[in-house]
Amino acid sequence: MLAAGEGCQDNVPQITIALPYQPGRGGALRDRALPVNRAPHPVTLRQLQYLAAIADLRSFRRAAEACHVSQPSLSAQVAEAERALGVRLFERDRRGVLVTRAGEALLDRIRRVLVEADDLVEAARRHADPRAGTLRLGILPTIGPYLLPAAVPALRAALPRLAVRWDEDRTAALVRKVEAGELDGAVLAAEADLDGLETAVLGEDPFLVAVPPDHPLARGEAPVRSAELRGTDVLLLDDGHCLRAQALDVCAAARARELDFRATSLSTLVQMVAGGAGLTLLPALAAGTEAPRSGLVLRPFAPPAPARTLVLAWRRRSAAEPTLREVAEVVARAAREVVGARAHPETGARSRPGSAGPRATRRRAATRRP
């Protein structure tokens, strides 16, 4: 797997695998066969695990602890792998471990080999029982607190033998974990940069204007037009939240002013607005939780209303894809129930503190990042 087709002796036969064409997946490989080396490989998967651990932890001692082996044993295996590959991957000095230029070039490939090996084992296990085992999923902090209370019991009922372990983090970190194989998938906003990942749409999450009761926009009855936001003070989340980028698009189009304060959570953002600091844009998914306890007035946007698209994303050719698609169907139903109970119809009235509007039709964003 490390060097398929390379270093094979002339007297060692090779076999080839013909790859069927799959639209959108490895199309460039559809008309050629991959040679598979049948000679013994000079390095083992275990040695590759040691190399990746050292590169990640920058310490032979910590890598040995993480891999549950003695440090002398790990050092010996690393030296053997370096001899087999013919390059030095690490340098050690008093400051710690440095990855050489050759190491940097090879470590990405090493990690991909390890991810593929994990996927191989996972594929075999899922063929035995695709609805059992543990699924590792990530979720955004602007989605998790509002969607999981509905999604978790729904998943437990629909897939009782499947255990789902959730990891809450920001978009860039979740995408990195999915690509590295640390997570099987993640619930994200489609407006983020998800190139290279497969996605299943979970639904639309329209934005609502959230204002304190004494704000001028709290007195209106009709849906808010973007022009009404011109010159208003708007509070947004801190950098790193994809919801911030989406809200900035809306504010820029409406020529609203962003205040200097940037919140790290929707709860903090809502409390600042409730204190009279300005207004904010609140996703309908969070409205039913955040608005009643803060006393905010919610008003929908006039069409075309801005929204974010919720998706479940995973690595292409992931062994868990069939299970992830089933999970996506269940989570999508939960999302529709939560958003539908908290959004507003396009001709509906505003929502007063402590109330939730009737079910809304799903609306796509007028302005969103590609």
When pLDDT is cut at 50, 70 and 90, the band that residue 53 belongs to is very high
pLDDT, position 214: 83
Most confident of 5-9, 213-217, 342-346: 213-217
Separation between Cα atoms, residue 200 and residue 211, nearest integer Å: 33
Q: For 178-211, write each residue's pLDDT tens digit.
A: 998 899 999 999 988 898 899 999 999 998 888 8
Res 303 pLDDT > 50: yes
pLDDT, position 18: 37
pLDDT, position 282: 85
| Cβ–Cβ under 8 Å, residues 265 and 170 | no
| Percentage of the chain lying above the pLDDT 90 cut | 38
pLDDT, position 96: 82
pLDDT, position 156: 95
Task: Please list the alpha-helical segments (H only) found in the chain.
Answer: 45-57, 60-67, 71-85, 101-128, 144-158, 171-179, 242-254, 266-274, 284-294, 321-342
pLDDT, position 241: 64
pLDDT, position 40: 83
| Cβ–Cβ under 8 Å, residues 357 and 345 | yes
Separation between Cα atoms, residue 307 and residue 282, nearest integer Å: 10
| Mean pLDDT in residue range 72-100 | 90
pLDDT, position 314: 96
pLDDT, position 200: 97
Most confident of 48-57, 247-256, 344-353: 48-57
Who has greater pLDDT, 226 or 173? 173
C-alpha distances in angstroms, 223 versus 189, 303, 329? Answer: 24, 8, 31
| Mean pLDDT in residue range 288-304 | 84
Q: Strand 257-263 and strand 233-237: pairing?
A: parallel
pLDDT, position 367: 34
| Mean pLDDT in residue range 82-87 | 91
Strand partners, 207: 283
Res 268 pLDDT > 70: yes
pLDDT, position 7: 38
When pLDDT is cut at 50, 70 and 90, the band that residue 341 belongs to is low
pLDDT, position 75: 93
Written in H, E and C, the secondary structure of 304-358 is: CCCEEEEEEEEECCCCCHHHHHHHHHHHHHHHHHHHHHHCCCCCCCCECCCCCCC
pLDDT, position 154: 97
Which of 19-23, 172-176, 228-232, 251-255 has the least mean pLDDT?
Answer: 19-23
Give me the chain's average pLDDT, please.
Answer: 79
Res 26 pLDDT > 60: no
Separation between Cα atoms, residue 306 and residue 250, nearest integer Å: 7
| Mean pLDDT in residue range 264-275 | 82
Most confident of 81-85, 195-199, 329-333: 329-333
Domains (range + CATH), the chain: 45-126 (1.10.10.10), 131-370 (3.40.190.290)
| Percentage of the chain lying above the pLDDT 70 cut | 77
Separation between Cα atoms, residue 325 and residue 165, nearest integer Å: 16
Separation between Cα atoms, residue 151 and residue 335, nearest integer Å: 8
Q: CB neighbours (10 Å) of residue 71?
A: 14
Q: For 137-177, write each residue's pLDDT tens digit.
A: 999 999 999 999 999 999 999 999 999 999 999 999 999 99
Who has greater pLDDT, 240 or 141? 141
| Cβ–Cβ under 8 Å, residues 189 and 140 | yes
3-class SS of residue 9:
coil
Cβ-in-10-Å burial (0-12, 13-18, 19+) of 6 comes to: exposed
Q: Strand 33-36 and strand 15-18: pairing?
A: antiparallel
When pLDDT is cut at 50, 70 and 90, the band that residue 25 belongs to is very low
Res 350 pLDDT > 60: no
Res 76 pLDDT > 90: yes
Most confident of 127-136, 158-167, 223-232, 268-277: 158-167
Res 346 pLDDT > 80: no
